[in-house]
Amino acid sequence: MQQLTSSFKNMILVLAGISLFAAATLASVYTFTKEPIAIAKANKLQNAIKEVLPADFARIGETEKIVISTGDSLNVYKAYNADNNFIGAAVESVSHKGFAGDITIMVGFDAEGKIVNYSVLEQSETPGLGTKMTEWFKTAKGRQDIRGKNPASDKLQVSKDGGEVDAITAATISSRAFLDAVINAYNAYAANSGAPEIDGNSGATALEW
């Protein structure tokens, strides 16, 4: 086999061939992994919805998209009990104020607007610091636990800002962003068509701590 002579043209041809091979390889890997990744993400979402809703929910009704003041469109998954009564909703929420990027969470509310539970879906915060948000705000210690609190009446800000929640140690920015996502979730929940009147006032009033 004749060896290619070293020339600029041949170098370009070899590089082009390598690039095409690499592109084809990456495309095939993406095609192969796309469906399993999508399935895993959908399963994670479904598990998060179940995790944050009241224990007596029997079915998830229609999903309502609510646009909040930040411009984000949040998914509100409305829940009903065996008697077909509205008992709350799970809200897929986001904050763009994280230390290392967006923080996406699922927050569950009961029919009175109280937080049932939450699940962190995506975050890129500092390992060992901001990443503690996955459990920190549902740990019954000090003023960490936000479960049972109603964003309409409880001030869900870190104590450093005059609020009622203990921030993650050495991760105040991440804590603020997490709570921002919770407030965004409540604003979407309160504006959904199934939400009841809370304390005589329309839940559609946006909260901005």
111: in domain: yes
Task: Decide if 35 is inside a domain.
Answer: no
Q: What pLDDT score was predicted for residue 29?
A: 67
The confidence score (pLDDT) of residue 208 equals 61
In a domain, 144, yes or no: yes
> How far apart are the C-alpha atoms of 25 and 75, rounded to whole Å?
36
Domain presence at residue 24: no
Q: What is the pLDDT of residue 209?
A: 53
Which of 85, 112, 115, 90 has the alpha carbon at shortest distance from 200?
112
Number of domains comprising the chain: 1
Question: Residue type at 146?
Answer: I
pLDDT of res. 206: 55
Q: Residue 200: its pLDDT value, please?
A: 36
Q: Cα angle vertex 152, ends 151, 158, to 5°?
A: 40
Q: What pLDDT, on a 0 to 100 scale, did the predictor assign at position 207?
A: 62
Expressed as residue numbers, the domain containing 122 is 53-191
Q: How far is CA 136 from CA 117, 130, 152, 166, 200, in A?
A: 12, 10, 21, 9, 33
Q: Residue-wise pLDDT tens for the chain (209 aa)?
A: 555 555 666 677 777 778 777 777 776 766 766 677 667 777 888 899 999 999 999 999 989 999 999 999 999 999 999 999 999 999 999 999 999 999 999 999 999 999 999 999 999 999 999 999 999 999 999 999 999 999 999 999 999 999 999 999 999 999 999 999 999 999 999 998 877 665 433 333 456 65
Q: Is residue 66 part of a domain?
A: yes
Q: Is residue 200 part of a domain?
A: no
Q: Is residue 91 in some structural domain?
A: yes
Per the domain annotation, does 130 fall within a domain? yes
- What pLDDT is stored for residue 194 in this prediction? 75
CB atoms within 10 A of CB 89: 34
pLDDT at 203: 37
Q: Which residues contact 15 (CB under 8 A, 6 or more apart)?
A: none
Predicted confidence at residue 34, as pLDDT, reads 67
